[in-house]
Chain A
Amino acid sequence: MLELIDVCKTFNPKTIFEKVALDHVNLKVQDGDFISIIGANGAGKSTLFNAICGSFLTDSGKIILDGEDITFKPDHIRAKTIGRLFQDPMRGSAPGMSIEENLALAAGHGGWLSKISKADKEAFRERLSLLDMGLEDRMKQPVGLLSGGQRQALTLLMSTFNPPKLLLLDEHTAALDPSTAEKVLELTKKIVDDNHLTCLMITHNMQSALELGNRTIMMHHGKIIYDVSGDKRKGLGVADLLGQFKKAAGKDLDNDRMILV
């Protein structure tokens, strides 16, 4: 499905700020996989997503999505098949435009000079009602008036309106309060299941990293240091993950921002 072959990225090369963000990363994702990604700050998790999305050109290596080499494709072209959510709920929608207009851009129906049709509005209303947040009755309101949780749910809807081949979730519930976070996570699960999406999710919550999906990978200093799936993963607990991390990284976790839930 998605394959990264020997992907490297170094920021500020040959300066004192040199930072190896991706160090010969190899990753093979199967169709329908739901992979949770954990690792300390600066481990290269978001850089991995940036590489997949095309926010920058990798220094070396190949990225293949569904048999197509996308290594040199610009980001907006990749966005047709890759959906992405960020931690910041404000990042995925245009605050000055209405819910309807945001959805229209995400849906991308029709030619450049087409307008939002009645059928479009019906479709938007139907999808919005799935969120169960009452947004279907506020379609003319600017997105800037929504709460963080509502905006993240809307972004989720927007990035999966045309089901992408791959969905990247970059700590997308971390900025929300616990109950809203849970709700958005439930929605995510539902949308991923309903559309059989392949999904990568970065999280700092090790418990949900193990509960969600079918595979967990751990990153450290730009490398994938642990990769577990199947039966072996089922028996794992948070303590085991921490043990694996200590073993692989060879240091204590005290300084890291992992939430030990």
Chain B
Amino acid sequence: MFNTFFALGATALELGLISSLTVLALFLSYSMLNVCDLSTDGCFTLGAAVGAVVAISGHPYLSLGAAICAGMVSGFVTAILQTKMGIDSLLSGIIVNTGLYSVNIAIMGGASLLNMNKTETVFTKAKMLFAHSFIGPQYRLVVVIAIVALVLVLLTWFLKTRLGLAIRATGNNPDMVKSSSINPTFTTIVGLCLSNSLTALSGCLLAQSQKSVNVTIGSGMVTIALASLLIGRAFMGKGGIGKRAVGAVLGAFVFRLVYTIALRFNLPAYMLKLVSSVIVIIAIAGPYFKQRLPELKRIRDASKGERHA
């Protein structure tokens, strides 16, 4: 019994941490830059595809760097569309997402599925490395925890630098950024390049963890990540940047945990996306109705009063 729970927890932790990189990407683009980046799904797959192709060609470590670079390029295109070409930010994301579908299949050599069963990945490397140490079977977790911790530290540090402050201000009050002699176009480009590089890294890790890439591996990621982000916000509240970033990671883990438990109770796997949609709806509509509750009450009371009178 305990072992089953432990195994479930470890799986949820691993998958949660992998997707937490996408959640951190949305933390940067959605919470900081105030851009809802709808190219997330395509970019996640892009990272998975590029990472897989590079890993299959025999470079497991390089695959992470390649995925990060590919994500940056994708983010750059999305940013250029919305800052330099007059395309609405939501629409730019959708356009890039659509385009990426073809790009991703092209990267996978025209196939919609790549198998990495015999490929050396960062996980197999870690397995060999830790084979005789106390870490032993938990090598997968170690890899993911190390990467997420590194990203978390770097991101928190970055958001407190001048460039990070400028990116946060761009989402908060673009007028103010301009009057501080900073070009908001520049900060938007940097912000989206960084966030998309994290999304791609996330995709790359998931592909290597499950040893295969499907062209639909990223579909629905934006909603799942948004749900996790909002769960994290509910747990951690407003607080400082570091606390909120940790909240994002925690949210990703909680989301996965709830989902894993649901699967144990025979919820079919295909329900994942509906669950994430519902969570996003509750997380965004909840506070809205909570805020309107006194108003609604007053309207109801007033109409009651009329009936009595």
Contact = CB atoms under 8 A, between A and B. Distances in A.
Contacts of B173: 91, 93-95
A94 B176 CA distance: 7
B contact face: mostly helix, strand, loop, or mixed: helix
Nearest to B173: A94
B168 A96 contact: yes
B303 interface: no
Contacts of B177: 76, 105
B3 interface: no
B4 interface: no
B180 A108 contact: yes
B30 to A, nearest CB: 13
A158 B182 CA distance: 14
A16 B244 CA distance: 51
Contact of B181 (A77, A91, A116): A77
Interface string A55-98: 00000000000000000001111011001100000011111110
State which size class the interface on B falls in: 20 to 34
Interface stretch (B132-140, B158-166, B253-261): B158-166
A111 B166 CA distance: 12
A74 B184 CA distance: 12
Interface string A86-125: 0000011111110001101110111111111000000000
A203 interface: no
- The listed residue with most A CB atoms (<10 A of its CB), out of B163, B166, B180, is B180
Contact of A105 (B158, B160, B165): B165
Interface string B148-174: 000000000010111101101100110
A44 B78 CA distance: 37
B162 A113 contact: yes
Contact of A79 (B160, B172, B178): B178
B266 interface: no
State which size class the interface on A falls in: 20 to 34
A102 B177 CA distance: 10
B301 interface: no
Contacts of B160: 115-116
Given A75-B178, A95-B172, A104 B183 contact: no
A92 B172 CA distance: 11
Contacts of B165: 97, 101, 104-105
Given A94-B168, A97-B168, A79 B162 contact: no
B168 A92 contact: no
Interface of B: 158, 160-163, 165-166, 168-169, 172-173, 175-184
28 contacts: A76-B177, A76-B183, A76-B184, A79-B178, A79-B179, A79-B181, A83-B179, A84-B179, A91-B175, A93-B173, A93-B176, A94-B172, A96-B168, A97-B168, A102-B176, A105-B162, A105-B165, A105-B166, A105-B180, A105-B182, A108-B180, A112-B162, A113-B162, A113-B163, A114-B161, A115-B160, A115-B162, A158-B179
Q: 10 closest A-B pairs (Cβ-Cβ)?
A: A94-B172, A112-B163, A94-B173, A94-B169, A80-B181, A79-B181, A105-B180, A96-B172, A113-B161, A76-B178
